[in-house]
Structure 1
Amino acid sequence: MKACPNCGKEVNGREGKKFCSPYCKSNYHYEKNKKKESSLFKKVDKQLKLNRRILKNYNRAGKATVESGELFKYGFDPKYFTHFWRNSKKQTYLFCYEYGFFSFKDEKGKRKFTLVKWQDYMQ
């Protein structure tokens, strides 16, 4: 007799049966897939949460300006955002949940980000 790969109990039934119950079969495959870090959803979700954490850390007052290198060294990636908002000057702020950023170059040509927190008037 074979042992169930999920719980180790003896498997009874037809020849070729691998699991002792539908629960063990489901749980085995769930745990196996949960360990895979390569799914696109998990990668995007992880990056969005990292971006949010970085923006929150640098924007404690509600509005701030930061050099891009300061954010990039902690893994910030501006290609990942949840939504956007365009102000009256037609500037587009990209948001990671409630924390947003706007990319620009200063007078010396250095890339910087203006960081903001979502406000009610941005509806």
Structure 2
Amino acid sequence: MQEKTCLECGTKIFGRIDKKFCSDQCRNSYNNKLNSDGTNYIRNINNILRKNRRILMSLNPNGKSKTHRSKLAEKGFDFNYFTNTYTTKAGAIYYFCYEYGYLPIDNDFFALVKKQEYVD
């Protein structure tokens, strides 16, 4: 029978035959290293989406309003990130950050909306 060693620290493993780590600490450390690049990327995008949502929420306290592009940009809104889109029958495209959305309208203005039935 071959001796098994911990995938993280290399120490000899005792116990179950399918055991890969000598402790929970080594298991967590190994998995954190394995996922760190992807986790940072996802964390950064989620932070942008949450910030966009907070900005839309602050400018739209009553569920429907209108604002100018400069007001969104001034608060740090990033137009490259949104969670989903909704296209109306007329072809208008609403961009959503979770339940808060915006529709580009004339002269760099945006109609802001809150989707009430977002989650069933």
Where on the TM-score scale, by shorter chain, does this alignment land: which range? Answer: 0.5 to 0.7
* Alignment pair present for 1:75 and 2:76: yes
Cα distance in 1 between the residues matched to 2:112 and 2:35: 34
Report if the CA contact (8 A) 2:12-2:22 is conserved. Answer: no
Say if 2:115 is the partner of 1:118: yes
Listed as ranges, the gaps of 5+ residues in structure 1 are: 1-11, 15-19
Q: Tell me the residue number matched to 2:103.
A: 102
Q: For each residue in 1:45-98, what CA deviation from the matched residue of structure 2 results, as whole angstroms up to 9, or x when unmatched?
A: 111111111101101111111111111122211211111112232110010110
Contact residue 59 and residue 65 of structure 2 kept, 8 A: yes
- The question of whether the paired residues in 2 share the 8 Å contact of 1:37 and 1:43 is answered with no
Q: Equivalent pairs: percent with the same residue? A: 30
Unaligned runs of 5+ in 2: 1-10, 14-20
State the AA in 1 paired with 2:93.
T
Alignment root-mean-square deviation, CA? 2.9
Displacement of 1:40 after TM fit?
Answer: 1.7
